[in-house]
């Protein structure tokens, strides 16, 4: 019985040590060529449905489920949302401000202006930040469906 208890203890310690060393999420990143966020946002139709690798600083993390992050673009003030399936990848709150490499498929979210305002308002409320509906101009949201990520520790 003592041997069984010892085995379980070693197994537990090993599993937590493996986790502590890794900064890879989901399936990781396999695409070598980087696509600038600006290129995706400038011509989204050329990228929709295609897998890309983007790099940038993580500006915001979904605080409830860790199911999305906003990645800073290469042009000042630009950012792109990376949405992952709940539970499949969970971004920790500590990821904000870290540099990340993300692989995902470019997707388009089409909404009416009302729906877009509601969605953006929800995101702002979640972050406790002010929101001005007048800033919502586009009715399509270009984002990445995240497959994997590497986040600098």
Smaller CB separation from other proteins, 65 or 140 = 65
Site mask for other proteins (CB under 8 A), range 66-85, x = bound? ------x---xx--------
137 binds other proteins (CB under 8 A): no
Q: State the Cα–Cα distance between residues 141 and 41, nearest whole angstrom.
A: 10
Strand 51-61 to 68-72 pairing:
antiparallel
Angle among Cα 18, 63, 61 to the nearest 5 degrees reads: 75
- Of 93, 134, 135, 138, the one binding other proteins by CB under 8 A: 93
96 binds other proteins (CB under 8 A): yes
**CB 79 within 8 Å of CB 71:** yes
Smaller CB separation from other proteins, 21 or 110 = 21
Q: State the Cα–Cα distance between residues 22 and 133, nearest whole angstrom.
A: 40
9 binds other proteins (CB under 8 A): no
Among positions 48-67, residues that touch other proteins (CB under 8 A) are: 57, 59-60, 63-65
Question: Which of these segments, 16-24, 34-42, 112-120, 137-145, binds other proteins (CB under 8 A)?
Answer: 16-24
- Of 90, 105, 109, 111, the one binding other proteins by CB under 8 A: 90
CA of residue 67 relative to chain centroid, distance: 7
Residue 35: exposure state from Cβ atoms within 10 A (0-12, 13-18, ≥19): middle
Q: CA-based Rg of the chain, rounded to a whole angstrom?
A: 18
Which positions touch other proteins (CB under 8 A)? 11-12, 14-16, 18-19, 22, 57, 59-60, 63-65, 72, 76-77, 87, 90, 92-94, 96-99, 127-129
């Amino acid at each position: 019985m003592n041997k069984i208890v010892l085995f379980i203890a070693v197994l537990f310690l090993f599993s937590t040590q493996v986790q502590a060393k890794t900064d890879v999420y989901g399936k990781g990143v396999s695409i070598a060529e980087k696509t600038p966020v600006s290129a995706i946002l400038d011509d989204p139709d050329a990228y929709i449905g295609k897998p890309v690798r983007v790099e940038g600083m993580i500006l915001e993390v979904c605080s409830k489920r860790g199911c999305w992050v906003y990645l800073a673009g290469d042009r000042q003030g630009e950012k792109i949302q990376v949405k992952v399936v709940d539970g499949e990848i969970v971004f920790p709150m500590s990821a904000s401000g870290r540099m990340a490499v993300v692989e995902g498929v470019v997707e388009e979210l089409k909404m009416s202006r009302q729906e877009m305002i509601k969605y953006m308002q929800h995101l702002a409320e979640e972050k406790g930040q002010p929101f001005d509906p007048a800033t919502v101009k586009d009715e399509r949201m270009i984002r990445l469906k995240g497959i994997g990520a590497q986040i600098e520790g």
